[in-house]
Chains A and B, each alone.
Chain A
Amino acid sequence: MKSRISPAVLRGSALALAAALTLSACGGGGGNDAGGAAPEEVSADDVQAALETGGDLTVWAWEPTLEKVVEDFEAEYPNVNIDLVNAGTGNDQYTALQNAIAAGSGVPDVAQVEYYALPQFALAESVKDLTGYGAGDLQDTFSPGPWSSVQANEGIYGLPMDSGPMALFYNTDVFEKYGVEVPTTWEEYVEAARTLHEADPNVYIANDTGDAGFATSLIWQAGGQPYQVDGTDVTVNFSDEGSTKFAETWQQLLDEDLLAPISSWSDEWYQGLGNGTIATLSTGAWMPGNFTSGIPQAAGQWRAAPLPQWEEGQTASAENGGSSLTIPAASEQGALAYAFLDYANVGDGVQTRIDGGAFPATSAQLQSEEFLNTEFEYFGGQKANEIFAESAQNVPEGWSYLPFQVYANSIFNDTAGQAYVSDTPLSEGLKNWQDASVKYGNEQGFTVSE
């Protein structure tokens, strides 16, 4: 039967198939074809015009305070219709986003991207360089940490939405009940962990099943710099002093089973934070909004304190999380999307989000008396922003994330995570993480050394 089809027809269809495959292969390449293009020029007038014309925007974000921002924005610009989608928190959303970008369809117009993940999206040019939109003029609007986090390859790839200077959140009822002082150093923290767990075996000082973002933040606070990035020359090394300090201290908690084996953001986690079985949480200043919405039953029990120190008397802190809003390169609504970014992260949206419990990245708000004097009802009237603002100023300089941090974080549990469930020491786990990251980096064309 084959012979019935003329060779010419066969050749033709083979060519068509090959062409189709090549086309889709380009689409599947993660948007590399956009590489090297000059940034788009979009003037303020264009943005204003887009607002008046209106249109539909799809926003992928998990930040809870954005809901109100979207509402207000739609009320102010009735022609704009925004579809706010929660496509997952952190890595889950990046997976979905990379998937959509690779497929070339279903890409949102605005996407929330954490600072640690932004270099990866910027490198692949899968989010727009906003320099041509006028983002270059916003240098003094944002505090230096977050502002440097949105820059990569001499471009500006997002507008900072919030920042995550770390603090220690603790359940004051639990600490009072067992007569334990709130720790100011990590040494005291380990001691407190022992006392609490001994007093009630159901109570743990914290939950941890191995969290890459948390581990790197504590190493950051300890002065470690495991990642050095210079263009495509990358160094990964977890044997410096800061990393060692973290590994040794955490090893004690692991050896004595003082950490609840509960993953963050799981149902058990929310329950544990609410019922006093998880006594502390060291995380970014964006957390209060999540406390209010996710653990309402524990209102009044929690307080914020400065992050425990590696050396007594120090005031070092670190960033944990914090994210920007970006415009994926595939969005055709650049001007309108930028208008939303500007509204949410520079304009009226900032105050709305602060009122909802978010921690801003804008200098004006961070320094205002009103902001610093805000009393948090959830924290029993505590002026928690004073602690957070203090923390924001004490973040050690010189930290950078890998340009493939999303992948590196996804294999943290394969490697370092083994220390949480087996006899593998954490230092060895970190070494394995380092090796796997180096291997991947080299495979991806970076020059990675240890």
Chain B
Amino acid sequence: MTTASPPPAALGTQPKPAKRAQKRGQKSSWSGWLFIGPFMAVFALVFLAPIAYSIYLSFFRNQLVGGNGFVGLANYAQVLQDSQFWSSLIRVVLFLAVQVPVMLLIAMLVALALDSGRLYGKSFFRISIFLPYAVPAVVASLMWGFMYGTRFGLVGNINEALGTNIPNPLNPDLILASIGNIVTWEFIGYNMLIFYSALSVIPKSLYEAAEIDGASQFRLVTAIKLPAIRGAMVVAAIFSVIGSFQLFNEPAILQSLAPNSISTYFTPNLYAYSLSFSGQQYNYSATVAIVMGIITMVIAYAVQLRGMRKEG
């Protein structure tokens, strides 16, 4: 909803968002609960209960020897000192810092190109760029994993045919970049669509006015288009931040191809998964998930605050 509603008067005055009417003293009654009851029941069951259960789990420790016991905040203290957890976090932050700007920049250039109206076969390009998003991440990772193969994969074929020596994309030094490439491929189309839809609702009158003033195409982009899609950019950035912190599918699939490059604590999510499913440390895994959730929320909120401040 927020994605496709750029402020119409982005150039100048920005109307303040209508303050939501908070009527106090309105007579409340049970009938309201009747309407939202079904939703609240499902919401409590599928959203709140798992979170509550995870928090509950994080206060216990279940050992192979000694059974289950309440440990208070000990699991949280352990996470804060866990070098494997922090190394996984630093890895996704690095991923975020490099991959997200690259992806958003490409997506924006593509969206601007599509919007410029100077492209033949616009809808063909639009759908082909969006198509990778429709491919499930697991399939995409398998496909890329196969292409990355230096022996029987695409990289191997290129090396053989051209006599080049492309290094193995799955070796420990390149694996993060290789995963970034997969994720970029998957999500350019998605972000392009967000930007493109924001661009396409800019009123034509602005362009006409600019034309009368004799503005160049470049000036159109910097003065009208970019300011108009700032809201969409913030949204895309937040989604990308969350997506980066939740990186899981791609490394999990590639792990079987490159077990020494992708450790069991490669990303925070993979770490939580390994702890719980290989190590049977459900409690500690829940703690890792909660801490990671909080960090993600804080950073996503910071991005939002910063994005909104610029806008104002």
In-complex Cβ contact of B260 among A29, A210, A403 (8 A) = A210
What is the distance, in angstroms, from A429's C-beta to the closest C-beta of chain B?
A: 10
A263 engages B62 (CB within 8 Å):
no
Residues of A within 8 A of B152 (CB): 267-268, 271
Residues of A within 8 A of B280 (CB): 30, 98, 102, 124, 407
Q: Is A244 an interface residue when CB atoms closer than 8 A count as contact?
A: no
Q: Which B residues are within 8 Å of any A CB, using their own CB?
A: 28, 30, 32-33, 49, 52-53, 56-57, 60, 62-68, 149, 151-152, 168, 171-172, 256-257, 259-261, 263-265, 274, 277-282
Q: Which 6 A-B pairs have the closest CB atoms?
A: A445-B65, A445-B66, A445-B63, A410-B278, A417-B260, A413-B259
Can you name the residue of chain A whose Cβ is closest to the Cβ of B55? A21
Can you name the residue of chain B whose Cβ is closest to the Cβ of A95? B277
B171 engages A421 (CB within 8 Å):
yes
Query: What are 15 contact pairs spanning A and B, CB under 8 A?
Result: A24-B53, A28-B57, A29-B68, A95-B277, A102-B282, A124-B64, A210-B260, A261-B168, A263-B256, A263-B257, A271-B152, A413-B264, A414-B264, A443-B63, A444-B64
Residues of A within 8 A of B172 (CB): 421-422
Residues of A within 8 A of B260 (CB): 209-210, 413, 417-418, 420-421
Q: Is A404 an interface residue when CB atoms closer than 8 A count as contact?
A: yes
| C-alpha spacing A337/B160, complex, angstroms | 53
A266 engages B257 (CB within 8 Å):
yes
Can you name the residue of chain A whose Cβ is closest to the Cβ of B281? A443
A413 engages B263 (CB within 8 Å):
yes
Can you name the residue of chain B whose Cβ is closest to the Cβ of A35? B67
B257 engages A32 (CB within 8 Å):
no
B259 engages A209 (CB within 8 Å):
yes
Residues of A within 8 A of B53 (CB): 21, 24
Residues of A within 8 A of B67 (CB): 29, 32, 35
B65 engages A417 (CB within 8 Å):
no
| C-alpha spacing A184/B263, complex, angstroms | 35
Q: Is A4 an interface residue when CB atoms closer than 8 A count as contact?
A: yes
B151 engages A414 (CB within 8 Å):
no
In-complex Cβ contact of B279 among A271, A410, A417 (8 A) = A410
Q: Which A residues are within 8 Å of any B CB, using their own CB?
A: 1, 4, 17, 21, 24-25, 28-30, 32, 35, 91, 95, 98-99, 102, 120, 123-124, 209-210, 232, 260-263, 266-268, 271-272, 403-404, 406-407, 410-411, 413-414, 417-418, 420-422, 440, 443-446
Can you name the residue of chain A whose Cβ is closest to the Cβ of B277? A95
Can you name the residue of chain B whose Cβ is closest to the Cβ of A98? B280
A4 engages B278 (CB within 8 Å):
no
B65 engages A407 (CB within 8 Å):
no
| C-alpha spacing A102/B264, complex, angstroms | 21
A417 engages B63 (CB within 8 Å):
no
| C-alpha spacing A91/B279, complex, angstroms | 12
| C-alpha spacing A91/B278, complex, angstroms | 8
What is the distance, in angstroms, from A17's C-beta to the closest C-beta of chain B?
A: 7
Q: Name the prevailing secondary structure of the B interface residues.
A: loop
- Given known pairs A25-B56, A268-B151, A406-B278, the reply for A414 and B64 (CB within 8 Å) is no
- Given known pairs A21-B56, A99-B277, A421-B261, the reply for A262 and B64 (CB within 8 Å) is no
What is the distance, in angstroms, from B37's C-beta to the closest C-beta of chain A?
A: 12
- Given known pairs A21-B52, A410-B278, the reply for A32 and B261 (CB within 8 Å) is no
Can you name the residue of chain A whose Cβ is closest to the Cβ of B172? A421
| C-alpha spacing A32/B149, complex, angstroms | 44
- Given known pairs A25-B68, A32-B67, A444-B64, the reply for A407 and B263 (CB within 8 Å) is no
| C-alpha spacing A30/B276, complex, angstroms | 11
A95 engages B278 (CB within 8 Å):
yes
What is the distance, in angstroms, from A170's C-beta to the closest C-beta of chain B?
A: 21
Can you name the residue of chain A whose Cβ is closest to the Cβ of B278? A410
Give me 7 other A-B pairs in contact (C-beta within 8 A), A261-B168, A410-B264, A443-B63 excluded: A21-B53, A28-B57, A28-B282, A32-B68, A263-B257, A410-B274, A420-B260
Can you name the residue of chain B whose Cβ is closest to the Cβ of A102? B282
Can you name the residue of chain A whose Cβ is closest to the Cβ of B69? A445
Residues of B within 8 A of A414 (CB): 263-265
| C-alpha spacing A99/B282, complex, angstroms | 10
Residues of A within 8 A of B63 (CB): 443-445
Residues of A within 8 A of B52 (CB): 17, 21
Residues of B within 8 A of A410 (CB): 264, 274, 278-279
B278 engages A446 (CB within 8 Å):
no
Residue among A102, A120, A210, A272 with most chain B CB within 10 A: A102
Residues of B within 8 A of A446 (CB): 64-65
Residues of B within 8 A of A29 (CB): 62, 67-68
What is the distance, in angstroms, from A339's C-beta to the closest C-beta of chain B?
A: 30
Can you name the residue of chain A whose Cβ is closest to the Cβ of B84? A414
What is the distance, in angstroms, from A33's C-beta to the closest C-beta of chain B?
A: 9
Residues of A within 8 A of B281 (CB): 443
Can you name the residue of chain A whose Cβ is closest to the Cβ of B275? A407
| C-alpha spacing A267/B257, complex, angstroms | 10
